[in-house]
Amino acid sequence: MGKKMREKIKEYMSRLEDGIRALTPADLEQFLRFRRYFRNYSIFNTMLIYMQRPNATLVAGMKKWNSLGRRVRKGERAIWIFVPWFKKIEVKVESETDSDSEKKETKTEEVLKGFIMRPVWDVSQTEGEPLPEDLAPLPAPEVKGNVSLKELYHRLIETSPVPVKETSLPYNEYGFAVVRGEKHIQINNAHDLKTKIVTLFHELAHIETPEKVKGREEKDVIAETVAYILAGMYGIDNLKGSAVYLGMFESRPIEFMEYVVGIVERISDRVGDMADYRMVENF
């Protein structure tokens, strides 16, 4: 890898980290709408595309565009993303039948050696043949404000990976998630529908948060951020929205963003109202 490439990677890595650290939950909500177009990319690459071209909808390398009969317009600035760099190596395989045998077979394996940066361009930077139908632009993302709240609540319960029960709890409690043993969620039946939905978002996030996240506060930062974003996506005012937790999100490690984005995407995919996305071969 050349010195220039290493410098470029370093520069983009630090821009990426700064960009992610500066994200507020409201930015994250906007980013999730953007990400709808780039679901087959890693979160980091989506972030890189977002930072360099916030209106991008479909990116590909030069070769891919040319194969579609399109040209990148002169003077257009490339968008740089990371692509994995694999190296083929020979590995010895021991025979399973007799391990004492001296005979060793070899096979070729691809090993991830690192990442390099590759330029891609957005469709809006290209011209030429019309796009094939399966690559035609998606309609603009919508706020899902017109999903009936009742329907949304039922879909969330139906598609929850763990049983959800409404029970009578002390009024100042919203609900809770039991994440060990017989996992389940309880929602306080004394509250209104909006509160119950936002609570369910929060508790579902607890169920889906990786076990390696330790600490009650850490877990609630993730759960509150997920609830806030989902509430925004479905057009619900999150009255309960806990500003304290949302403020803390900004100082969390980068992994938190990956968790939040992953959980939001899983929940909204299950509810089935998330617009479909398409797979585009990168190169």
Strand partners, 85: 114
CB 215 → Zn ion: shortest distance, Å?
12
Our finding on whether 208 is near Zn ion (CB under 5 A) is: no
CB 202 → Zn ion: shortest distance, Å?
6
* Site size toward Zn ion, by CB under 5 A: 2
Pick the closest to residue 116 from 258, 10, 42 (CA basis).
10
- Rounded CA-CA distance 228/236 in Å is 9
Contact 271, 155 (CB under 8 A): yes
CB 242 → Zn ion: shortest distance, Å?
9
The identity of residue 139, as a single letter, is: P
Contact pattern from residue 121 through residue 160 relative to Zn ion, giving x for each residue in contact according to CB under 5 A and a dash for the rest? ----------------------------------------
Q: Which pair of tokens denotes residue 45?
A: 């690459």
Nearer to Zn ion, 29 or 220 (CB): 220
Site for Zn ion in 21-80 (CB under 5 A): none
Our finding on whether 205 is near Zn ion (CB under 5 A) is: no
CB 206 → Zn ion: shortest distance, Å?
6
Contact 90, 107 (CB under 8 A): yes
Site for Zn ion in 72-91 (CB under 5 A): none
Q: Which of 58, 59, 200, 223 binds Zn ion (CB under 5 A)?
A: 223
Pick the closest to residue 16 from 74, 58, 63, 79 (CA basis).
79
- Rounded CA-CA distance 42/267 in Å is 18
Our finding on whether 220 is near Zn ion (CB under 5 A) is: yes
Contact 240, 223 (CB under 8 A): no
Residues forming contacts to Zn ion in the complex (CB under 5 A) are: 220, 223
